[in-house]
Amino acid sequence: MKKIKIKTPAKLNLVLEILGKRKDGFHEIRSIMQAINLFDFLSVETEDNDAEIIKISGNNPQIPYDENNIAFKAAKMFLKTADIKNQKVNIHIEKNIPVAAGLAGGSSNAAGTLWGINKLYGNPLSADQLHFLASELGSDVNFCLTGGTCQATSRGEKIQRINTPDLKFLIVKPSKLFISAKEAYQKYSGSPIKSEIKNFDTMKKVILEKTTNIKTVAKLLNNDLEKAILQAYPEINKVKQLIIKAGCQNAIMSGSGPTVFGIYENDIKIDFSKDSYDVFKAVSINYGVKES
């Protein structure tokens, strides 16, 4: 039996711009994505078997532990592509990243599964092959493989690394609110109100400077999905106000939400109800999925 433990980081969108609807049903986007030190942990075991068996388990009842789990799909896709037969694969997911939160927890698990199983089998697939599989699994999976700070284009799967700024984040998710990416984009498509803020190029320029101006980065935070989501879930605006009151400079929804984050420089006052909110302090990191 071979074993590996992988830590899979969460993602924030410093900027998320939606450029239009594509023919394939996805949206064309431009985003600057940032990996943070909030991790799920995957324990992966493989061994020879009479037939292919993939088993998923975990500590969070909010996600499926069957063929509908994206880690299951990643493992199955890897074995088929690498032409590896008659294997038993066990994947245990220790969930710390909130579910359906706009933090790419599921995508990060899929990326960790691809990377970890590939390493267990002696890296039969190249980085390009892993990224192809990642793009088939979901729009954020490629970023989660790469990590750090990236500009993401197309539907999010085309990734280019840029340098990682030194940033501190306060991250807050309403505990009982869950929003899938599908729901968020549907609400965006159905909303007559569209953001006219386009900060992608300016944010990238600021981040590429040798000494990143944290106040400027905070000011440039933007998410085109936010207005449509706030219409449906006004409680998210309350979270934004609480984060700013805590001492952060600006507050914005990450990805498809409902998680909101702010950037801070000095001490902040965390005074949130533990029954109502999941609250994290995190920092930017310059890597993606890796062995724990």
Q: How far is CA 245 from CA 31, 39, 289, in A?
A: 27, 26, 33
Q: How many alpha carbons fall within 13 Å on the CB side of residue 219?
A: 7
How many Å is the maximal CA-CA distance in the chain? 59
The one catalytic residue among 7, 40, 73, 140: 140
275 assigned to active site: no
Please state whether the peptide bond connecting residue 124 to the residue before it is cis, i.e. omega within 30 degrees of 0.
no
Half-sphere exposure of 18 (CA within 13 A, CB side): 22
* Alpha carbon 74 to its chain's center: 16
Give yes or no: 140 in active site: yes
Tokens of 172: 């807050």
Task: Write down the residue that tokens 């409902």 correspond to.
Answer: 258
Among residues 11, 73, 173, 240, which one is catalytic? 11
Answer for the pair 76, 84: CB distance below 8 angstroms, yes or no.
Answer: no
Active-site residue numbers? 11, 140
